[in-house]
């Protein structure tokens, strides 16, 4: 009985819903209320009656016609907007690892933009000199001017390097010498600033520079002297004379250019033993000269 009553109520509700769609929401609410009431009533009856199932109480009843499926209801209204939630914590995550992607190919060249307006002239340094223009036509020849008067001769300037050194020593008599004996001289014809000494028969440099030295020696009768030009007792050049008879006469000479420092000495000496002899007298066959070429 209860089941039959419930089915009849459901049919009534569905038919009403089909006839008036505008009252859908009201019917839906009514339907929910009725179903809740029926469920509550059935639960109370079930508690008061002995246990039996619907099939037992409804034996012999005719099943009702199945109801039609109801049409879908319209969407309900939007609910009220909820309260704004609390702001989340803005925690920055850890930096990810660097990727190993391949470098892409360069993109195509973009279109050239339009030329902008000319800017104001800057206040900078002057620009580079432009190319030279073509030569203009030759002008007319001017009238020759009068020659000016010759100016007065200026005063003589000071000498930049006016220090000088030069000498010539002459042998006035014969000399017999052995090895390392100094060749002696008796007369000096030139001795600027006195750099050659007749006491030592040596030239001593006072002005550092380049010097030229020359010597010439005469020999007479059988002899064979070696005459050496030395600087600080180091051999520079040698001259050799050789006569074999009592009437033989010979002349030997040599020269050198030396770089001297202050204090260096230059002289002539014998280079052989056995008393070789140099010849000279008033005719001055033997001499020794030197001079400063230029100062350093």
Three-class HEC string of 174-203 = CEEECCCCECCCCEEEEEHHHCEECCCCEE
Of 10, 70, 64, the closest CA to residue 39 belongs to: 10
- Tell me the range of 75-79, 156-160, 272-276 where mean pLDDT is highest: 75-79
pLDDT digits (tens, 9 = 90+) for 177-199: 899 999 999 999 999 999 999 99
Of residues 197 and 108, which shows the higher confidence score?
197
**pLDDT-based confidence at 222, cuts 50/70/90?**
confident
pLDDT digits (tens, 9 = 90+) for 124-159: 677 778 888 888 888 888 788 777 788 888 887 656
Residue 287 has pLDDT above 90, yes or no: yes
Task: Give, in order, the Cα–Cα distances in Å from 172 to each of 33, 151, 214, 282, 287.
Answer: 168, 55, 18, 6, 9
pLDDT of the residue at 238: 94
**pLDDT-based confidence at 99, cuts 50/70/90?**
low
Residue 215 has pLDDT above 50, yes or no: yes
């Amino acid at each position: 009985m209860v089941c039959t009553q419930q089915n009849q109520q459901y049919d009534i509700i569905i038919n009403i819903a089909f006839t008036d769609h505008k009252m859908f929401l009201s019917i839906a609410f009514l339907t929910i209320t009725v179903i809740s009431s029926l469920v509550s009533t059935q639960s109370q009856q079930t508690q008061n009656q002995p246990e039996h199932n619907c099939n037992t109480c409804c034996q012999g009843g005719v099943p009702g016609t199945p109801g039609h499926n109801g049409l879908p209801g319209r969407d309900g209204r939007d609910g009220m907007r909820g309260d704004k939630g609390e702001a989340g914590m803005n925690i920055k995550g850890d930096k990810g690892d660097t990727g190993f992607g391949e470098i892409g190919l360069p993109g195509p060249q973009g279109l050239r933009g339009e030329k902008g307006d000319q800017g104001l002239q800057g206040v900078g340094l002057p620009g580079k000199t432009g190319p030279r223009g073509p030569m203009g036509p030759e002008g007319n020849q001017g009238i020759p001017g009068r020659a000016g008067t010759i100016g007065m001769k200026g005063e003589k300037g000071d000498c930049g390097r006016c220090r000088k050194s030069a000498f010539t020593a002459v042998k006035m008599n014969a000399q017999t010498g052995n090895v390392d004996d100094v060749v002696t001289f008796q007369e000096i014809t030139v001795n600027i600033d006195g750099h050659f000494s007749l006491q030592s028969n040596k030239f001593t440099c006072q002005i550092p520079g380049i010097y030229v030295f020359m010597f010439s020696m005469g020999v007479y009768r059988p002899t064979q002297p070696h005459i050496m030009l030395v600087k600080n007792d180091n051999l520079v050049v040698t001259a050799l004379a050789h006569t074999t008879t009592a009437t033989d006469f010979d002349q030997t000479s040599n020269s050198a250019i030396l770089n001297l420092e202050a204090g260096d000495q230059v002289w002539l000496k014998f280079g052989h033993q056995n008393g070789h002899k140099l010849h000279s007298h008033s005719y001055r066959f033997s001499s020794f000269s030197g001079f400063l070429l230029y100062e350093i």
